[in-house]
Chains A and B, each alone.
Chain A
Amino acid sequence: MSIFVDKKTKLVVQGITGRDGSFHAEQMKKYGTKVVAGVTPGKGGSSVAGIPVFNTVAEAVEQTGANTSVVYVPQAFAADAVYEAADAGIKMIVCVTEGVPANEMMKVVPYVKARGARLVGPNCPGVISPDQCKVGILPGTIVKKGYVGVVSRSGTLTYEAIWALTLENMGQTTCIGIGGDQVIGTNFIDCLEAFQADKATRAIVMIGEIGGSDEELAAEYIKKHVTKPVVAFIAGQTAPPGKRMGHAGAIISGGSGTAAEKIAALNKVGIPVAGSPTEIPGLLKEAMKKSRAKAKPGRPVTRKKATVKMAGKKLTTRKRSTARRTVTARKKRK
């Protein structure tokens, strides 16, 4: 299982004839994403890498049944593209484009929400559910199917964390980059809620950075609503106040939004914060061990769950083998 994007995702690429749009449309298709349409006003009727291009999102939805969109259009047209997608009935919109003014996003976000749609971004690397679907620019080569949910405000730093997990054989259910801007469609809490509800996700990695108070709010949320083990990393401990560190949101203002405050808030609710991205897998293993011990002293809780599941539903061979692998892995650890 996974969150936000999966095998059922039928993707329309907005800005498909542009440099980034065409390149990534092909990359996503190669990864196995069902890229059903592209949109560029005035280019309807043509095609890119075998993907049909339409003039409007509405037309693309009507003709192909697209349910998800990814936006690569230039800065000045990105907000309009998101409005268009929401208006056409798209329920999952990923905006990769960076540099959208905050005053624009303040209107876009409520518009999208009012239509029951989800927006991820802007200025984000997108969402990938390994072996199922990739929407955005996250490199497919670094992910691996598994049980860890990854959510991050950053781009390449996320890759670093995912890669560290993959090297330790800790695969992922879904990896999401929510974007580094001040006004974003999906925040940590939205993703934490989805990961908590997702059965395949057994542990969560959260990567934050300086600026704002989303990490602090996430810590409060985890304390109340998340039972799965969480490990965090916060970038920007050496960042000076008042200087914008690349991302629009990464700025320490008025003495708040510092890495130290965020780390303290996370530690306070028992979330370990890694000192380096490479420490994430180790900390996560430890946190998972602790959480198992806490859940059912003496007897591992996951095993029981697996048994119930096996009894209740007819499991496919694949699911059964996963369950078996889990048990073996646990034995090994002991």
Chain B
Amino acid sequence: MKIHEYQAKQIFTAAGIPVPDGEVAASISDVFQIAERLNQPVMVKAQVHVGGRGKAGGIKYAENAEAARVLAQQILGMNIKGLTVGKVLVTAAVEILSEAYVGIILDRTSHKPVIMVSAAGGIDIEEVAAKTPEKIHKLYVDPVVGLKAFQARNLAYKLYRDIGQVRQTADIIMKLYDVYWKNDASLVEINPLVSTPGGKVVALDAKINIDDNGLYRQRDIAAMRDVEAEEPGEVKAREADLSYVKLDGNIGCIVNGAGLAMATMDLVKRYGGEPANFLDIGGSSNPQKVVNAMQIILSDQNVRAILINIFGGITRCDDVANGIVKAFDQFKPSVPVVVRLTGTNEREAQKILAKVKLPTAETLDKVVMKAIELAGVGM
């Protein structure tokens, strides 16, 4: 799960990591009031779940409250990479001497958190990592022992020579690791971490992604979810306990299991179609899940055919078949539906499905080809 910069900065502040004073606003008048209260030049920063906000024009400098009001008019409601800006962070502008990068992420190969620092921070950090990887310093932390002070200091020396700044940075890195670990984060990032002419080290930006598997024990963070900043179909799917990702194609896919769902999408593409979504109904056999899945997919205007592919293990095919029949009872799908049910209770399922007379196929490849044919695309 992603949270906004202003939320991440709240977590930073609580952990004792220095950030510029600021507040979030959803209206032009609020932006004006916050800027007036700060009574100094400010930055107006779009709060959207996407990288490259600055380059897209979503982060701007304002000399005073009046200028901030004008900027708010531009940025609020603006579209950045398909997402509408609903909130902005109004934050005190900081004079910058140098920009560094600090990030912590899980290294899957070593099964350890890896802390990455670079003195070449800022908007081009990805290019730095790609072109001059020697400028990125890494430390793999033993998750059982945790981060030690000397390790944080060693990393800080890669960024600054001044002992005052090294101490501040080491302290920030220790606290950042704590934030990473205690909040079940999958990523924490400060880019840029800046030094000011006064010798202070400050986190100008803050990014925290949370491991979805940890949300059950991170209630405060789960409550930070900004539903308006997410794709509506994905929100609805999550509420219905389905795993759904919207794509741009026109073949709707309902599958059990993440791997099989991806493989089904791949085959749609292989046989000349374009998948409209990833949708995993999970291992449970609740017929209502199938009904919900159908509804979510049908709400996508691009969908021209629905493909249901189930390999029954724990999931029972007859339960899925009951769900399909139920869906047809409740609303007549406006597009063709083609079904393949294999595995546990397959025969019972076929009997149930006979009621709705749907086109079926025996194999994975055949059901995909059939769906593409019925959608009238890919020919």
User: Do A and B share a complex?
Assistant: yes
User: A-side interface residues toward B, CB under 8 Å?
Assistant: 20, 75-76, 99-103, 105-107, 109-111, 125, 137-139, 141-142, 152-160, 163, 180-183, 207, 209-214, 217, 233, 235-240, 243-250, 254, 259, 275-278
- Partner-A contacts on B (CB < 8 A): 106, 108-109, 111-113, 126, 143-144, 181, 184, 186, 211-214, 216-217, 243, 245, 247, 255-263, 265-270, 275, 278, 280, 283, 311-315, 342-344, 363-365
Minimal beta-carbon separation of A173 from chain B (angstroms): 20
- Once bound together, how far apart are the Cα atoms of A159 and B258, in whole Å? 13
Min CB–CB distance B190 → chain A (angstroms): 17
Q: In the bound complex, do residue A158 and residue B106 qualify as a contact, i.e. CB atoms below 8 Å apart?
A: no
Question: With A76-B217, A160-B364, A239-B278 given, is the CB distance from A106 to B259 under 8 Å?
Answer: no
Q: Which residues of B contact A240 (CB under 8 A)?
A: 245, 247
* CB atoms of B211 and A248 under 8 A apart: yes
From the candidates B109, B143, B261, B344, name the one contacting A212 in the complex (CB within 8 A): B109
Q: Which residue of A lies closest to B141 (CB)?
A: A106
Contact A238 B260 (CB under 8 A): no
Across the two chains, which residue of chain A brings its CB closest to B130?
A255
Given contacts A106-B112, A238-B269, contact A156 B311 (CB under 8 A): yes
A249 touches B278 (CB 8 A): no
Residues of B within 8 A of A278 (CB): 363-365
Q: Say how far A254's CB is from chain B's closest CB, in angstroms.
A: 7
The residues of B that contact A139 with a CB separation of less than 8 Å are: 312-313, 343-344
Alpha-carbon distance between A142 and B265 when the two chains are bound, in angstroms:
23
A189 to B232, CA, bound (A): 40
* Contact A101:B184 (CB < 8 A) given known A156-B311, A157-B259: yes
Known: A154-B260, A233-B263, A246-B278. Is A276-B364 also a contact (CB below 8 A)?
yes
The smallest beta-carbon distance between A88 and chain B, in angstroms, is 20
Which among B186, B212, B216, B245 is the interface contact of A76 at CB below 8 angstroms?
B216
Contacts of A153 in B (CB 8 A): 259
* A110, B112: Cα distance in complex, Å: 10
- Which B residues touch A275, using CB under 8 A? 270
In the complex, what distance in Å separates the CA atom of A246 from the CA atom of B259?
8
Q: A237 with B266: in contact, given A103-B181, A214-B108 (CB under 8 Å)?
A: yes
Min C-beta distance of B234 to chain A, whole Å: 9
Distance, CA A29 to CA B275, complexed state (A): 40
Other A-B contacts than A106-B112, A137-B313, A276-B365, 16 sampled, CB-CB below 8 A, are A99-B212, A101-B214, A102-B106, A106-B113, A111-B144, A156-B313, A157-B260, A159-B260, A209-B262, A236-B262, A237-B266, A243-B245, A244-B212, A245-B258, A246-B258, A278-B364
Q: Are A235 and B211 in contact (CB under 8 A)?
A: no
**In the complex the two chains form, is A254's CB within 8 Å of B214's CB?**
no
Q: State the CA gap A138–B216 with chains docked (Å).
A: 27
Take A154-B257, A183-B111, A249-B108 as given contacts and tell me if A160 and B247 are in contact as well, using a CB distance cutoff of 8 Å: no
In the assembly, what is the distance between CA of A245 and CA of B266, in Å? Answer: 13
CB distance from A104 to the nearest CB of B (A): 8
- The answer to whether B259 and A180 touch across the interface, beta carbons within 8 angstroms, is yes
**B270: chain A residues within 8 A (beta carbon):** 275-276
In the assembled complex, which residues on chain B have CB atoms less than 8 Å from the CB atom of A243?
245, 278
